[in-house]
Amino acid sequence: MFFDPLYIVIILICVGFSLYASSITKSRFKKYSAYTTQSRMTGAEVAHKILSDNNIHDVRIERVGGTLSDHYDPRSKSLRLSADVHDRNSMAAFGIAAHEVGHAIQHAKAYGFLTFRSAWVPVANISSKLSFVVIFIAFMLGGAHSFAGATVSWIGVLLFGCTTLFTLVTLPVEFDASSRALACLQKGNYVAAKELDGARKVLNAAAMTYVAAFASSLLMLLYYAFRLGLFGGRR
């Protein structure tokens, strides 16, 4: 399958989409990091304010290294912000910080998709490690040409599908967090209309990376199912 022209085309599409999404995200983050807000607060300060506005007082805000390494850890209830977000006053910092707080709000309110995604993490991790081995064995057995091959093919595709499901469920989680973030920034009067638009553009660009991840995973899932002969003919 590694010399299959269709496989090469799909890989190029997936890599191209991912690189484009990553490039747009970094470009917008850099652009809107140069625009300060009238409030003069840092990303960490606005995150603390929004948490307080939502009566969340058990979430720690931590400064971490890296660029765009910001995330919320529901296990330790920690909001981890990179230096460019934690320490700076900018439209980009406000957008990213508020987005991560959005995840903390989801956690506090037991948002269904976040709960499911968190529970699905170990399943997705194990499936991603096993799926390629099982799919390789399925190809060696001739895919759907034999009973054993067909059985192993279905197992491999279903395992890979667990990872695809994770990327799918991630979409509403991330979109909802961004929606909550923008609403909180506006409701708390932490940004002016123009500043809110800058934060929105950064979050919209970041959302593309999750769309790219899902699209790539889905394309690979369909490719494996097709080449193994589970639909659309047999190899």
Which positions are catalytic?
100
Angle between helices 147-187 and 112-140 (to 10 degrees): 150
Give the max Cα distance, the chain: 67
Q: Tokens for 73?
A: 């850890």
DSSP string, 110-156: T-HHHHHHHHHHHHHHHHHHHHHHHHHHHHHTTGGGSHHHHHHHHHH
Q: What CA–CA distance (Å, rounded) separates 84 from 93?
A: 7
Rounded (5°) CA angle 128-158-119: 60
